[in-house]
Structure 1
């Protein structure tokens, strides 16, 4: 079997998502992130792909997905078909080609239910899961008990699917409305203290999500965090879930999380 490093970034993207039983929708965005984190040629700037850019990449990724299916490394499931037929509803042949050729199946939208799911055979998990999601050496890292409460909150935020830092669903406390501009920045500096080192070390990526009807985002560099979080609009209690500033682990950060802290968190599921 080939090594993980011998797969292209497009193949790695699809296999990672298949090993996590992810939806096909959103895969193009994940490919863009993979390119960017790898520093690859053709990577998008520090933002998500536009819908136009996503649709333009569908033929490339559809061809890669078809090849992986043909090699027995990837399975495509139609959950709508599973409901109607009562079967597993894995697809192949002309139905597979039609699904993969349809750009709507690859682009996430709240107006369309996600029905096409990726999965991988057990042999793929056994051979490549630890390469796709490695565990970093925790030598020299603080133990979970040695982290501050605020550091733990930030790490769990990055580990969870919601991952919001600001707004009514965020883990950071917004500045009180009565603060003047200088004291507001002082407040924000205190909120950033547990987060900024993880961003600076490339373990966490911070993103601003402006629109709940899209999976679009812009990446906030560590040097822009203070000015970005000074925007009062980010702290409104009226914001819908998914609007505002959130965070995710990079692959390097996920490896550190898995190697150093995830087991302690999973054993307790409490910050105290």
Structure 2
């Protein structure tokens, strides 16, 4: 049986996305993140790809996707709904080639709602799901009951779809408006303390989202957390939803979440 490690990072990216029934749009961004987290040569800097950079990668990824389809590991489906269903159309032949070679289909945009979805075949699920989304041995790790309430809140935030730290649905409290610059930093030191250790350990990545209608972001390093979050512009009342700072699990963090914390969270459904 082919090992997970024998797949290229491009193949791993497409298979991971397919195992989650992800949209084809935004897949190039996922590939950039995969390269960066793996420390691969040619990885992008700590930010999202520009649209031009995404377009340049489409021919290579289209060839990889075609190869996985030919090997019976991947299907490309056209869907009219937000969730997959039996009504989805599996693409093949010239229609499939046309879809995969059109760069705009790979790049997420609110102007072009995506209808193309990646799905992994049963063979791919059965043979490599546990390698693509492993569960880390939790022995020796801090257990859920040993975490503080604020630490648990950060982990649940990273597991959620939005993952917002700031804004009306964020989990952090903004500094009071009457604080001077020094006291704002002290305030954010306290707010980011439960988050910083997870970032420093490589379990969570923090991103500043720039546009509610796009997928652009910059990565915030752990030593820039308090300075970035002390920026008054992040706490303006008139920001659009999704603009601000959010967090996501890295692959390592997701493995720990699946192994050590998610079962405890799901069983208790409480921060207390």
Partner of 1:45: 45
User: In angstroms, what is the RMSD of aligned CA positions?
Assistant: 1.6
User: Deviation at 1:81?
Assistant: 9.9
Per-residue Cα deviation, 1:131-162 (whole angstroms, up to 9, x for no partner): 00111111122221211111011001111110
Q: Give me the whole-angstrom Cα distance separating, in 2, the residues matched to 1:236 and 1:110.
A: 24
Contact 1:210 1:217 in 2 (8 A): yes
Contact 1:144 1:261 in 2 (8 A): yes
Per-residue Cα deviation, 1:166-193 (whole angstroms, up to 9, x for no partner): 1112111111111122221111000011
Please list, as runs of the form range in 1=range in 2, the aligned pairs for 1:118-137 lying within 5 A after superposition: 118-137=118-137
Q: Give me the whole-angstrom Cα distance separating, in 2, the residues matched to 1:107 and 1:22.
A: 13
Pick closer, same or farther for the CA change 1:35–1:82 going to 2, 3 Å: closer
Contact 2:144 2:261 in 1 (8 A): yes
Contact 1:199 1:222 in 2 (8 A): yes
User: Deviation at 1:82?
Assistant: 12
User: Deviation at 1:270?
Assistant: 2.2
Report the TM-score, using the length of structure 1 for normalisation: 0.96
Partner of 1:160: 160
Partner of 2:95: 95
Contact 1:168 1:235 in 2 (8 A): no
1:25 aligns with 2:14: no
Partner of 1:140: 140
Aligned positions, number: 270
Q: Give me the whole-angstrom Cα distance separating, in 2, the residues matched to 1:219 and 1:23.
A: 23
Q: Give me the whole-angstrom Cα distance separating, in 2, the residues matched to 1:213 and 1:88.
A: 26
Partner of 2:243: 243
Partner of 2:173: 173
Pick closer, same or farther for the CA change 1:92–1:227 going to 2, 3 Å: same
Q: Give me the whole-angstrom Cα distance separating, in 2, the residues matched to 1:172 and 1:82.
A: 30
Per-residue Cα deviation, 1:181-217 (whole angstroms, up to 9, x for no partner): 2221111000011000000011101111111121011
* Structure 1 runs of 4+ with >4 Å offset: none
Q: Which runs of 5+ in 2 are unaligned?
A: none
Partner of 2:210: 210
Q: Which runs of 5+ in 1 are unaligned?
A: none
User: Deviation at 1:265?
Assistant: 1.1
Mean Cα displacement is larger for which, 145-154 or 234-243? 234-243
